[in-house]
Structure 1
């Protein structure tokens, strides 16, 4: 290519990046606002628990949110990030996503408390369509963001997204507290949340439509069948095989995720208005912990971030089990802290730790995979990983079955054991930046030191 042609392309890319920066931040912030308003693990799981006695259906909410959203990745995980026309797909999928949530809000208003079975069926059908649309929207929009900005500017965009996401998350928590705490018609209150999310997703779709697609050549698209045929070859990579086992255990530890809020409400008697506090606590935990995770990742590598995230994940069910008897202990209970609501407020810690753990995972999961996968084969590695995790994402259904049969304490104990297996599994991860990785718990003799990485 002639030199002047290269300069022209570079100049165009820079103009596109400057144009996309503002709209990219707005898109991400509105997307985070919408997701927080209808957070599957807190808001929607709690909503379903109020209109259904089935814990399996409660577990189906986050299963759909994760499993169906990953479906488009399975169809085209190997597509080139700059593939022509993908922005158009992302914009139309964003519009469909907003429309689905708007429809859900209208139906919730129309049906209300009067017909829970009809409301439940409608919710799951429309929510499934919403998550499929989210998957088709997220893939091209993430690619567009990655290819529109340089590394430093990309960090700025994501930093701004996280900042506004945290600020809006606190506002969402206050809104949820006011809506749920001051209403006797919970479906109608949740319908308002759906409509507010519709507004947020509509603004996100507008921001996406205003972005410009950077020029890139087309790439190949790896089908699901191709990914599965490549599995034996990919699993021959010791780095990846260990990472896949770790991610599977870590995802399995989400078995109790939608049931913490149900436990708080049904077993601990937490007032309904504090559900909003839990949403805000999760949002703040995710944002604030970024200030810690990023330096750790930069100085010590993504492996340590994953290990500590797994350790925090393991602590969540322990907190849920330990806080009630601890705060009901006569020495503490007699203090009369917080007007008798000490346990309700203390349970916020569960969601703070949950948010901190999710933040670490979000930062390091993909970054670690990119570190260990050969560049030419990254799409195939990503595809196989997403295929496994899309199946594992339905583990909360198993959690619902265990809860119905054995109760909360048993479920949380199983969750702790799975989390412990994830922590042990993290000890076998290699750190690609260093030749001699040190397992997280090696200094205490719980894990053996990893062998030298073979080049």
Structure 2
């Protein structure tokens, strides 16, 4: 990765404008569908109403993470020297998402009489859904690299975040109406939640199917000729050598792990704010802070996209991680100011603006790796990032033993380290 790959230009990608719109539709609908089963709000309510407990929620959370990351290396192996990514992407995601329609029917039919059957059906669909989306992560990211010019990817990700962020506000209102019993009662309301997810996931799949994939694999200047396909054993055995050959990629993977500190410790910010405010804060006010976080996402998404397109992902990632250090600092400033709500809201605002840092990291990866190698390195990136799954556990132990502030300090240390490592990465735009 020490030699940046020359960038694609629009003439080489005649369908770039159309594919841009299709990808915006795909990602936006995927995010909206996921919001119907949001892990912090709708999912716990649905599981609880079907008789599940906190232990099951923890299991589902682990399933979500593991099912997303674990299939990626195997799919990357399957994509060796592939001339097209779209067919396997459509197959994997179709198999993963169809289960939500069946789960909604099970909740509707058995929610009252046999909630255990409904819960098993939902858990199975949830697992299958994340396996499908995890397996589709490699071909989807490689497809973005193949169909969208490098200097338009920042705008793509910014647009998807903006559109989906606005849409999530509407989905949140629908979820509140359903869970509040205003529109429908249990189990109809709960089935509608699952079907809402299924509907938007299906529309997302349709947008994917409409993408016009560029068949040529040689659009990336400097890409090496395709090498013979390896067996799975030989493929997995070659990965350590790949890491040694590209030390900058290993550093980028380390940055991705460290950058997850924001999302790993975000749940503890609410406990810190409540304990740092004299008299406490009502639970109902959590929605106000969520709005501040969403506004931060909407405000910063176009900024990161524009900076990435104009100056490149390294400079953008450096600035992003630098600003990431401010949200825990603002939280502590609010505490030392006697529970200043303005500073607490500002912390949530900045958290929303930086928590989706994976987008800039992915953009850097796509600009740094030749097209033929992208599926392998995308899968490898997510595989070596598995240690990030332990960060919430470590932060939780810190918070339980030393208070929520310890988790925020933990986040600050990781983010500062990530900033230092980012500064050592080569600039993919130094020749552009």
TM-score (norm 2): 0.71
Distance 1:81 1:286 in 2: 36
Distance 1:420 1:125, change over 3 A: farther
Distance 2:307 2:384 in 1: 28
Q: CA deviation at 1:131?
A: 0.5
Q: CA deviation at 1:75?
A: 1.0
Distance 1:121 1:250, change over 3 A: farther
Structure 1, unmatched stretches of 5+, are: 1-9, 333-342, 436-455
* SS of the residue 2:355 aligns to: helix
**Cα deviation 1:204-261 (Å, max 9, x = unaligned):** 2233334454434698666476345332453354433433332222235543345556
Q: Does structure 1 conserve the Cα–Cα contact (< 8 Å) formed by 2:68 and 2:130? A: yes
Q: Does structure 2 conserve the Cα–Cα contact (< 8 Å) formed by 1:251 and 1:389? A: no
Q: Does structure 2 conserve the Cα–Cα contact (< 8 Å) formed by 1:254 and 1:415? A: no
* SS of the residue 1:215 aligns to: coil
Q: Is 1:286 matched with 2:285?
A: no
Distance 1:26 1:237, change over 3 A: closer
**Cα deviation 1:30-55 (Å, max 9, x = unaligned):** 1222133334456546877997775x
**Cα deviation 1:57-78 (Å, max 9, x = unaligned):** 6565555434422333211336
**Cα deviation 1:384-407 (Å, max 9, x = unaligned):** 322111342354345455556665
Match of 2:313 among 302, 311, 324: 302
Distance 1:114 1:315 in 2: 51
Distance 2:397 2:117 in 1: 23
Distance 1:188 1:317 in 2: 41
Match of residue 419 from structure 2: 423
Alignment of 1:59-98 (within 5 A): 63-77=62-76, 83=82, 86-98=85-97
Q: CA deviation at 1:164?
A: 2.5
* SS of the residue 1:77 aligns to: helix
Alignment of 1:56-455 (within 5 A): 63-77=62-76, 83=82, 86-107=85-106, 124-150=123-149, 160-180=159-179, 191-216=191-216, 223=232, 226-232=235-241, 234-235=243-244, 237-252=246-261, 254-260=263-269, 270-272=282-284, 274-275=286-287, 281-319=292-330, 323=334, 326=337, 328=339, 349-359=346-356, 361-373=357-369, 378-400=374-396, 408-434=404-430
Q: Does structure 1 conserve the Cα–Cα contact (< 8 Å) formed by 2:154 and 2:308? A: no
**Cα deviation 1:388-437 (Å, max 9, x = unaligned):** 113423543454555566654443443333334333443444435459xx
CA RMSD of aligned residues (A): 4.7
Distance 2:124 2:67 in 1: 12
69-78 or 426-435, larger mean C-alpha shift: 426-435
How many residues are aligned here? 408
Distance 1:52 1:323 in 2: 37
* SS of the residue 1:235 aligns to: helix
Q: Does structure 2 conserve the Cα–Cα contact (< 8 Å) formed by 1:91 and 1:209? A: yes
**Cα deviation 1:65-102 (Å, max 9, x = unaligned):** 34422333211336659936743332333333433333
Distance 1:197 1:418 in 2: 34
Structure 2, unmatched stretches of 5+, are: 1-9, 218-225
Distance 2:321 2:335 in 1: 23
